């Protein structure tokens, strides 16, 4: 797994635990707040998986 994939996965899990709908925008916001650099396609591709 790449760092981008792991970061987006953890962000999705955080959103799920808080009962917040999982969207690409919210995943991106959490990853940016963690100061992790990711490729722009990761949030969009992983939101469907979750």
Specify the pLDDT at position 47. 73
The reply to whether the predicted model has a pTM over 0.85 is no
The predicted pLDDT at position 36 comes to 92
Note the pLDDT of residue 28: 92
Q: What is the DSSP string of 1-50?
A: --HHHHHHHHHHHHHHHTT----HHHHHHHHHHTT----THHHHHHHHH-
- Enumerate domains of the chain plus CATH numbers: 3-49 (1.10.10.1410)
Over residues 1-44, the pLDDT tens digits come to: 788 889 999 999 999 999 999 999 999 999 999 999 988 888 88
């Amino acid at each position: 797994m790449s760092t981008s994939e792991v970061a987006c996965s953890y962000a999705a899990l955080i959103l799920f635990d808080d009962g917040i709908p999982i969207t690409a925008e919210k995943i991106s916001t959490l990853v940016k707040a963690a100061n992790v650099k990711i490729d722009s396609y990761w949030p969009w591709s992983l939101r469907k998986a979750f």
